[in-house]
Amino acid sequence: MKLSAFSSRSPLRRCPRSVVGRAFTLIELLVSVTFLVILMLVVSQVIGIVQRTWVRANSRVSQFREARQAFDTLSRSITQATLNNYWDNDFDTVGTDAAGQQITLAKDYFRQSELQFVCGPTSTVIPAAAGNAQNYPGHAVFFQAPLGIASLVATAGQGGGGQQPVNTENMVNLLCGRGYFVEWGTDASFRPAFLDQLNNAVPVRSRLRLMEYSPTAEKNRIYDTNLRPITAHSMEWYQDVLNTGVQNSQETEKTRAFTRPIAENIIALVISPQLEATGNTSVAPYAIAPQFIYDSTLKVNPGSSPINASPQGTQHLLPPLLKVSMVALDERSGELLAREENNQMRAELLTAIAGKLQNASSLVEELDGSQGKVGTLVQLLLDKKLNYRIFSTTIALKQSRWSF
């Protein structure tokens, strides 16, 4: 039949051999798999880098959160520093009367105070730390402020003769002593007592810590009769700072410790009293404390010269400004310094830091750097591969009573 002949010549039964039955060769498969593996490696590396960056950034934020909170606490407390000074007369003796009493004549007014503000290198401000100065890097500051810190002291109750706690809820303006400094040491005295019963499962931690001295108003030794006048007993009212730390076996709710840590891994605290430099270019801002030492009981601080004609000098006056800087390390760097094999490195580093924070004129070069270079103190940390952060602020003391 012609129909059959037509079917045998149908183009549908003659497909090109190059199209029907073609497959990938082994080489093509290997090349494809290779490209796929490379792509997966690149993607995994990118994801790893992003993850590590996020973890590092999150860690830095959390690591320095404690330091930031401590710095804010320190700044708020210093802002409230006061000397509560008042005007008094200065007299000249002009003779004696018939009874042998001196006859005086008022000649001038000057500011007087029963309180004190003092700051400077810790080994100078706390003489007991001088013998171990490498464990107290940086500066210390001690002052009085209306912080209202009081303890619940039991007192005789009315009628029944029982014991009742004193209500100090509304005594928010009680005058208290306050101080801050950096100390190297262990946490053996203030960590939870149950950790010592775990057979050294949790070892004692050695760290650099920002310490706060905060005695209650009842224990404010500034008015101790044995320490009066304050000009003759400068700095004695807080010299118990190293002996009133936390002791777990002795501390109770009624006998709390006055010195305790508020932040770990703080490697240096820098306090620089300064003048307001605006419109007064003839005097350096740090002229009142060129060696960082400021003692309100002195008319002229160490290393400085009288900056005006007034015989008052700096006596019984707060510095107008305080430049406060704090250098904090992250936990990894703090742990690195605490390792026993790094004892020599830590001692050298802390000694170098203490040696640099002696001259206020070089503070900018030491912390901030100059001419595009990092500060020399910062370079010490970089050389030791330590991660750090510097917190800095300039505080205007509200109770300062300066005029030039």
3-state SS track over 141-186: EEEEECCCCCCCCEEECCCCCCEEECCCCCCCCCCEEEEEEEEEEE
Give the DSSP H or E segment for 110.
strand 102-112
**What's the pLDDT at 298?**
93
Give one word for 313, left, alpha or beta, with left for phi > 0 and alpha for psi -120 to 50.
Answer: left
For the entire predicted model, the pTM comes to 0.80
Helix (H, G, I), strand (E, B) or coil at 191: coil
Tokens encoding 193: 């007592």
**What's the pLDDT at 159?**
47
Q: How many CB atoms lie within 10 A of CB 170?
A: 7
**What's the pLDDT at 109?**
81
Give the DSSP H or E segment for 338.
helix 331-338
Partners of residue 209 on adjacent β-strands:
183, 264
Write down how long the chain is: 404
Contact 325, 360 (CB under 8 A): no
Per-residue pLDDT of the chain (404 residues; tens, 9 = 90+): 444 544 445 554 555 555 555 677 888 888 888 999 999 999 999 998 888 887 777 666 667 888 999 999 999 999 999 999 888 877 778 888 888 888 887 777 888 899 999 999 999 999 999 888 889 999 999 999 999 888 755 544 444 455 556 666 667 788 999 999 999 988 888 777 777 777 777 788 899 999 999 998 888 899 898 998 898 899 999 998 988 766 655 666 667 788 999 999 999 999 999 988 766 667 888 999 999 999 999 999 999 888 777 778 889 999 999 999 999 998 889 999 999 899 999 999 988 888 888 999 999 889 888 877 888 999 999 999 998 999 999 999 988 876 54
**What's the pLDDT at 167?**
65
**What's the pLDDT at 403?**
54
Nearest to 116 by CA among 201, 254, 231: 231
Q: How far apart are CA 199 and CA 152, in angstroms?
A: 36
What's the CA dihedral at 154, 150, 191, 262 to 10 degrees?
180
Which residue is it, tokens 């100065």?
133
E-assigned strand segments in 201-343: 206-213, 259-264, 266-274, 294-295, 321-329
Nearest to 142 by CA among 113, 107, 109, 178: 178
**What's the pLDDT at 250?**
65
